[in-house]
Amino acid sequence: MGNSKTKKAISSENKKLNKEKAAFKRRVYNVFSGAGFTYIPTNDKEMHIGLRRIEIDSMFVYKNIWLVCEDTVTSTGIRDHIRTKNEAVGEIKNNLPQFVNTLVALFPDKESLFTEYSTDRIKIIGLYISKREVPLASDDGKLFNNLTFVQPKTLNYFQWIVSCIKLSARNEIFRFLEIEDKDVGLISSSSENSTISAPIIYPKAFTGNKDGIRVVSFMMCAEDLLNTCYVLRKDNWSESIWLYQRLIEKSKIKSIRDFLEKKGEAFYNNIIVALPNGVVVKDAAGNYKKIDEISGLEGDCKLILPKKMNSICIIDGQHRIYAHYESGSNSKQEKEITKLRKQLHLLVTGLVFPENMPNADRVRIQSEIFLDINMNAKSVPQNVLLQIKRIGDPISDESLAQFVVEKLNKEGIFQNLFQMSSLDNGKIKTASIVRFALKYLVTASPAEEKQSLFTYWNGDKTAFNNKDEFSPTIMRSIEAQAQGYLS
């Protein structure tokens, strides 16, 4: 009788686990297929590659970019599992011709997909995708160098972005994977299509700004913007503090897209971006000049930009750009938007930074502009405001408190319990904790006759407080202080 109950309990648990695995696999499938990758159903197909027997949960292909995926919902024995999968991907990379031949034998209907590119052009990327947070040490990236880890926060982010902008989310995935234009497809020896020529609206008025920043307005077609832009969203995969943009809104994208389909015209207000290094101006005589060499121009002038994905940073206007997304469907709306992507030219105001300006200074200026524009528009979420303040003053009391919260979220009893992203539903919200409690405990400038944990910190307080020389060294000092508060 007892054995019967035990077997039923085990059977019930197995069913529950299998259901969880199937649901997670669907999520992974929806993300990459939704971004335009071709799905290869490798699950349960054992392969003999090199000296190993290999199993691949799923595979996704876009041109010569092959994503070899391992998905898991368990957290027991995780390091041994990671090590095994890291070695398997290494074996695939070392025996790529054999791997291609094996795939052709298993999926003969997809032979043209597997043989379109020579093996020296195929880029194998191993993805380890876990439903639960994978605890990684600082040197694990080198130890498991054949794998890129897709943590739950990252998968949630991609799931949301793909649901909003469909195939146009692919560049965001490429940015996460550090894939550039030169890595995708065939190698081109021609530079003919490597730049974008954008007509300048105000050739005389390269608006001055402090610190040698130039501002220029120009026209750019929606398709070129869509293919070259990116956004520093605070909800993405990065742990950098230099992120300030809010998450894209699906309803806003839909309403703008419906407007575009109905009206067939662009919005008249301009989009604000930060331009990459290397932009030049082509004057009416066909001469190329750097922006800082120009005091004024007459006639037909064009801004020449590199045609490179993830190179133009959107400061304001992400919804107006991404509403032109490529859906991959054959709907009436998509057919109309496809035409408009090439036809509509949007008014863009671009910031050109001095090439030697540190990235931290650039992002501070961008975040200030974003805040100036949006403070009187839709209410900016508290977590976004905190992040912008943090960029402006990384050693303020609220910034330090946020560092401590992030440390708490990584380890100990609060691990993964705080809401670090607006996509983290059901977790502890941090804005009120930071603003009304924690900042007073960690402040480096306590009120008169008051003390904080900073008083007892034995680090270099003078160097720490020198925010004018903020650098990776100071950044490590902040992290050390946060760690000191927890120890």
Q: pLDDT higher for 9 or 271?
A: 271
* Gap between the Cα atoms of 325 and 183, Å rounded: 22
CA–CA distances in Å: residue 331 to residues 251, 327, 336, 337: 19, 9, 9, 10
Q: Report the range of poorest mean pLDDT among 301-310, 336-345, 441-450.
A: 441-450
* Gap between the Cα atoms of 312 and 276, Å rounded: 6
According to DSSP, the β-strands at 312-316 and 229-230 are: parallel
Burial 244-258 (b: 16+ CB within 10 A, else e): bbbbbeeebbeebbe
* Gap between the Cα atoms of 205 and 203, Å rounded: 6
pLDDT, residue 203, reads: 46
Written as one letter, the residue type at 237 is W
Task: With a cut of 60, say whether residue 480 has pLDDT above it.
Answer: no
pLDDT, residue 357, reads: 92
pLDDT, residue 379, reads: 61
Q: Which two tokens stand for residue 422?
A: 């607006």
Distance from CA of residue 10 to its chain's centroid? 41
Written as one letter, the residue type at 243 is L
- Percent of the chain clearing pLDDT 70 (strictly above): 85
Per-residue confidence band for 204, with pLDDT thresholds at 50, 70 and 90? very low
Instruction: Kindly report the pTM of this predicted structure.
Output: 0.81
* Gap between the Cα atoms of 243 and 232, Å rounded: 5
- Percent of the chain clearing pLDDT 90 (strictly above): 50
Q: Report the range of poorest mean pLDDT among 177-181, 249-253, 410-414.
A: 410-414
Per-residue confidence band for 298, with pLDDT thresholds at 50, 70 and 90? low
- What does the pLDDT look like over 394-412, one tens digit per residue? 888 888 888 888 888 877 7
Q: pLDDT higher for 191 or 214?
A: 214
Say if CB 444 and CB 464 are below 8 A apart. yes
According to DSSP, the β-strands at 195-199 and 147-150 are: unpaired
What value does the CA radius of gyration of the chain take, rounded to a whole number of Å? 25
Distance from CA of residue 73 to its chain's centroid? 23
pLDDT, residue 132, reads: 92
